[in-house]
Amino acid sequence: MNRIGLPLGMLLFLAAGCSGIRTLARDLPVIKAVDLEDHAEQYLAQLQGDGVIVEFEKGDAVPVTVIAELPFASLESVENHLVFSKNTWILLARGGAFISPDGRRFAPVYDVKALKKLYGVKHGSLTIGFAVSREEGTQLQAGVSLH
């Protein structure tokens, strides 16, 4: 999947000008997330064309690397996994990256208002904590929650 990382990053950057929920008007290829790595070259060509839809099934896990470069510290890269609790579709196209709960209606991944409307989110929270114990040592904790 490393070969498609740069184009995906570019798509996210290009998406900055788009907003709102969109209903898919034409058929695009749907790729199962589990098949992405084995056919990266083929999907990269489709991605550079009209786009593709990646389907993540409930239970699919995707590695997530969190990076932070701050004036006072940096975050060592530790791999976590984002595990999908519901089937989810991600449209990757020239207009950016969009997410969907049903494979038809898509919202830009960065558009909080559209995501709240699409997923029926009423509340959200960001928590940052600091803990110290003899067993675990010193820890910083961060969390995001949407309800």
Residue 19 Cα distances to 89, 108, 114, angstroms: 17, 6, 7
6-63 pLDDT per residue, tens: 444 444 434 444 558 888 766 888 889 988 888 777 777 777 777 889 999 999 999 9
User: pTM to 2 decimals?
Assistant: 0.73
Distance CA 136, CA 131 (A): 9
pLDDT at 107 over 60: yes
Give the pLDDT of residue 82.
Answer: 93
Give the pLDDT of residue 16.
Answer: 41
Distance CA 85, CA 80 (A): 16
50-98 pLDDT per residue, tens: 788 999 999 999 998 888 898 999 988 778 899 999 999 999 887 789 9
Check: CB of residue 81 under 8 Å from CB of residue 70: no
Question: Which amino acid is residue 142, in one-letter code?
Answer: A
Give the pLDDT of residue 17.
Answer: 44
